Structure 1
Amino acid sequence: MKKLLIIITVLIGLTAGVRAQSTSFQPFKLDVGAGFDFVSKNSVSFIITVEPHYRFADVFALGLRFQQMTNLSATKYNIGFDSYASQCLSGDYYVTDTKQKLMVFIGGGAGAFEEQINNSDTEIAHFGYFPRIGLETGRFRASLEYNVTGGTKNYFAINAGIFFWGKRK
Structure 2
Amino acid sequence: MHPPELVTRQTEAIVDRLGLTGRCEISVVTVGYDPTVLTREPGPTATAPFPTQAYNSWLTVQPGPAPLDDEPPLDEGVHVMVSNADESTRVHLPPDMKDVEALVLLADRLQDWAIELTHGQALPPCPGHPHPMSAAALDDTAAWVCPASSEQVVFLIP
Say which one has the larger Rg: 2
Query: What is the TM-score normalised by the length of structure 2?
Result: 0.30
**Structure with the larger strand share:** 1
**Structure with the larger helix share:** 2
Query: What is the TM-score normalised by the length of structure 1?
Result: 0.29
